Amino acid sequence: MLRFLLLAVLLMVVARLFWRFVDGLIAGARGSAPQGRSATAVKLVRDPVCGTYVPARAALSVTAGGTTHYFCSEECRREFSSRQ
């Protein structure tokens, strides 16, 4: 019986971690935070070169023709500039 209880508790902990992870994935894919957590939301922007989502604050950016483009790294920014 004790063993069963321990297993149940373990499953609950794993399930909670799993859903937190899924929540994060969904937020990342949408580019926004889950409902009710907008106060702590980090704006994600897509790197047009490699397709990676990066937090706008941490991203490198280039403004061209009134549009701002965000990049995950200096390499991607250079790659983008060389295509222009």
Using CB under 5 A, list all residues that contact Zn ion. Answer: 47, 49-50, 52, 72, 76
**Of 37 and 78, which CB lies nearer to Zn ion in the complex structure?**
78
We find the least distance from the C-beta atom of residue 20 to Zn ion, in angstroms, to be: 26
**Of 23 and 75, which CB lies nearer to Zn ion in the complex structure?**
75
Give every CB contact of residue 39 below 8 A, 6+ residues apart in sequence.
Answer: none
* Paired tokens of 4: 């069963």
Residues 42, 58: Cα–Cα separation, whole Å: 10
**Of 42 and 49, which CB lies nearer to Zn ion in the complex structure?**
49
